[in-house]
Amino acid sequence: MRRRPLVLLATAALMLVGTPAFAAGKAAPPAGDPARATLLARATLPAYTPAPGPPTGAFSDPNNGMTPPYPSQLVLGISSMLLDSKGAFWAMPDNGFGTKDNSVDFLLRLYRFTPHWETARGGAGTIDVGRFLSLRDPDHKIPFKIVNDGTADRLLTGGDFDVESVTRTPDGSMWVGDEFGPFLLHFDSTGKLLQAPIAHPSLKSPNHPTLANGEPTTVQGSRGFEALASSPDGRFLYPAVEGRLTNDANPFRRYIYEFDAQKNQYTGRSWQYRTDGEDYRIADMQFLDANRAILIEREDDEGPKATFKRVYLIDRRKTDADGYLVKTEVADLLNLRNPAHIGSDDPAGGYGLGDPFKFPLQSVEALLPLPGNRIAVMQDNNFPDSAGRVPGKTDATEMIVIGFPKR
């Protein structure tokens, strides 16, 4: 058993004070040198975590020791999350097993996660899964056929939408970004769809339900609204495409759009974001105030091959000479200070569990600002395919909290 440096005990107690009430207070923006971004806490959920519901995975493939079908629903890797009260979070998996065809038996939900953090003082480093919200369309708002079309609840599945991002507005309702349209989906606080899916006027993916034969697409498959943020007052939504548009000759350009939730229409405004690599993705984005946001930019590698998983700060008022948003690095998720060696005693072991701490997981997709100059990050484990920690072993779902020096 390693010994944690005593000097860190008081530091961790101060920096994590109020952890059971993350939702309280205004989230402070990250500050300081990204090289000083420090791992404060970590918790994990086993890759195979069953949940109530019918069997799933009948159309998916085995990998990394996991063999479908599975006897119940599963809590798979997380693509987006919301704060809840009393130290808990609402965590949203995506469409299930990766495609429309193999995810028709995967029910779209948000699960209530309660982490029991491992910090510099120790701790279990586990996540409890509580109740869930089922995304559903009992009022027949969706104008096209869905998997559970003839049922009363009309529970939504991964064969209907690829939900990748969620934000909550002050009225308590939730907006979800989808990749199959891409669509914006508006749900009440219980998960009931409030209106028909809202399409972007110029974006269509190969999975769009109304795509005609021979009709050109503008969004690559699985490159739709991976990120969706809202202004603090909830008036505006900002969906961002994960990858470049198919009709864009510039492979480094990504677009962030503006949607007026009050008028229920796109405003026509957009911003250009330049990635560091041709196939790098905008994986999640959250606003800190009316103008500044933080986002994850990443490549698609894992384990020792992972080279780029970073958090940037942008300000929609600031663009460079070429019209791209100016971005400032906040944290390198492959190079986090970890003087307390959090995670080093993980019995599962794996790559990157030391000082510096690495988050070398393929699909780092969930980001959330927290009070006290902290952010939470979680990943989609692409169950059962991603194995970034231990080769041949499906990744657990990992959740970390990163702290930054105060101004």
Q: Walk along the chain (407 residues) and give the pLDDT tens digit of each residue.
A: 333 443 333 333 333 433 333 333 345 556 557 778 999 999 999 999 999 999 999 999 999 999 999 999 999 999 999 999 878 999 999 999 999 999 999 999 999 999 999 999 999 999 999 999 999 999 999 999 999 999 999 999 999 999 999 999 999 999 999 999 999 999 999 999 999 999 999 999 999 999 999 999 999 988 889 999 999 999 999 999 999 999 999 999 999 999 999 999 999 999 999 999 999 999 999 999 999 999 999 999 999 999 999 999 999 999 999 999 999 999 999 999 999 999 999 998 999 999 999 999 999 999 999 998 899 999 999 999 999 999 999 999 999 999 998 75
- What's the rounded Cα separation, in Å, for the pair 160 and 225? 15
- What's the rounded Cα separation, in Å, for the pair 336 and 320? 28
- CB crowding 208-240: b at 16 or more within 10 Å, else e: bbeeeeeeebbbbbbbbbbbbbbbeebebbbbb
Select from 135, 205, 139, 211 the least CA-distant residue to 176.
135
Beta partners for residue 92, in sequence order: 80
Question: What contacts 248, CB < 8 A, 6 or more positions away?
Answer: none
pTM (predicted TM-score): 0.92
- What's the rounded Cα separation, in Å, for the pair 84 and 61? 34
Start-to-end C-alpha separation, the chain: 35
Q: 124: how many CB neighbours lie within 10 A of its CB? A: 12
